[in-house]
């Protein structure tokens, strides 16, 4: 009987548990690095809505099973749907709708991030009231490299980072560790992984969602952050100088010029990565981040929804499917981009990706508190 119960839990993509006044959601696809599938999005949204409305619930914890928190969207799901128009529209809609509710959640949330947290997976980390990272945490937004774009609210998040760090992270897919995430405000606390289980147990025993109580409890386990001398965050002056340029081409030219200077050898592999990336993905991503500086969260999510659907429709390029093929299907790391160069990607084409979709297909963000959990896919008009 115990084994049967274990198997049921193993089969659940998100495990929801009630522990007193605490609710724990565990992303439970460890063999797939907890990538976000349509079922994951559906279950998370159900749990979070139920728990926010439940007067007995005071505190929400979220973590990942295995060595990853979440590696982001399920790329194979997108690839498998490439021949059928809008086959992934539902999961995209549900994910961006969920992102809004995570950002605006009414109860105290704590994400316990002990491993990979990339792309859309990091949207379950950064917006939380408290996000706890460890020495095993690895963050990145590498979507542009495969012909996609920085999504799930990150055109809003990255555009608000210091200087032009957001453009740098979005275009290069550069990785940050736990200490670096705390240093730039994308995580709130650094706790050694050896202490994480004890912290979780203490949070469960609190019987409180009071922000000050939760903060002081986490601080009992957290450590002061000191950046390594080679941290990318210590290169902010160079990053700002280069990634403030108007175009992707100018950014790369400026970055190459800096890379030729003594002591800037760290730039060489980053440049190689940029030049291997999808030219279309890079141009779309830069524009989205730049627009994000002047947009609200809702505006960013609506924009990202339009971009994503247009990319998945191959409106101007099939690069996203070629990028996924080269990375995860054939694993040859030799994508053939179309167009192949930045110069060939016309701005008029990029404009098309940002255009509203036909038939008023739009992400519906709730506009009033009374309708806070409205706008679900089921009532969107194109379900």
Catalytic residue set = 73, 120, 143, 151
The answer to whether 315 and 278 are in contact (CB under 8 A) is no
The token duo for 7 is: 């198997």
Phi and psi, residue 174, nearest 5°: -55, 145
Helix, strand or coil for residue 14? strand
| DSSP code of residue 171 | H
- Residue identified by tokens 């590498």 is 142
The token duo for 209 is: 């969602």
The answer to whether 193 and 136 are in contact (CB under 8 A) is yes
CA distances from 161 to 202, 232, 234, 264, 290 (A): 32, 14, 14, 23, 12
189-190 sheet: strands from edge to edge: 14-19, 22-27, 59-64, 108-113, 130-133, 189-190
The answer to whether 127 and 154 are in contact (CB under 8 A) is no
234: number of Cβ within 10 Å: 13
Helix, strand or coil for residue 140? strand
Helix, strand or coil for residue 174? coil
State the Rg of the chain over Cα: 21
| DSSP code of residue 234 | G
Q: Which residues pair with 63 in a beta bridge?
A: 26, 112
First to last CA, the chain: 40
DSSP character string of 92-138: HHHHHHHHHHHHT-SSEEEEEE-SEEEGGGGGGTTTSSEEEE-TT-E
Taking Cα atoms as reference points, which of 135, 113, 110 lies closest to residue 223? 135
The answer to whether 365 and 302 are in contact (CB under 8 A) is yes
């Amino acid at each position: 009987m115990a084994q049967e119960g274990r198997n049921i839990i193993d089969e659940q993509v998100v495990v929801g548990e009630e522990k007193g006044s605490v609710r724990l959601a565990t992303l439970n696809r460890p063999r797939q690095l907890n990538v976000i599938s349509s079922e994951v999005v559906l279950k998370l949204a159900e749990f979070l809505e139920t728990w926010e409305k439940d007067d007995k619930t005071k505190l929400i914890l979220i973590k990942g099973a295995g060595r990853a928190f979440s590696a982001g969207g399920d790329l194979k799901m997108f690839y498998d749907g490439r021949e059928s128009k809008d086959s992934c529209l539902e999961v995209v809609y549900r994910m961006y709708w969920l992102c809004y509710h995570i950002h605006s959640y009414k109860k105290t949330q704590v994400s316990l991030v002990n491993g990979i947290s990339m792309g859309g997976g990091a949207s379950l980390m950064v917006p939380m009231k408290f996000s706890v990272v460890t020495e095993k945490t690895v963050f990145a937004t590498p979507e542009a490299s495969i012909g996609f774009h920085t999504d799930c609210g990150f055109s809003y998040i990255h555009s608000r980072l210091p200087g032009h760090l957001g453009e740098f992270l979005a275009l290069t897919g550069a990785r940050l560790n736990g200490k670096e995430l705390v240093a730039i405000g994308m995580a709130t606390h650094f706790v050694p992984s050896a202490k994480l289980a004890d912290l979780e147990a203490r949070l469960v025993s609190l019987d409180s969602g009071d922000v000050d109580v939760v903060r002081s409890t986490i601080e009992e386990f957290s450590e002061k952050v000191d950046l390594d001398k080679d941290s990318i965050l210590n290169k902010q002056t160079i990053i700002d100088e280069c990634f403030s340029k108007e175009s992707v081409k100018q950014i790369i030219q400026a970055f190459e010029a800096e890379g030729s200077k003594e002591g800037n050898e760290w730039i060489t592999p980053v440049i190689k990565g940029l030049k291997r990336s999808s030219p279309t993905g890079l141009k779309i991503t830069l524009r989205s981040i730049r627009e994000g500086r002047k947009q609200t969260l809702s505006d960013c999510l609506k924009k990202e929804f339009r971009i994503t659907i247009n990319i998945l429709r191959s409106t101007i390029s099939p690069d996203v499917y070629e990028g996924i093929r080269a990375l995860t299907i054939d694993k040859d790391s030799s994508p053939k981009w179309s167009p192949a160069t930045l110069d060939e990607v016309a701005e008029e084409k990029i404009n098309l990706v940002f255009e509203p979709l036909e038939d008023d297909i739009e992400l519906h963000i709730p506009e009033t508190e009374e309708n806070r959990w409205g706008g679900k896919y089921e009532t969107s008009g194109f379900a």
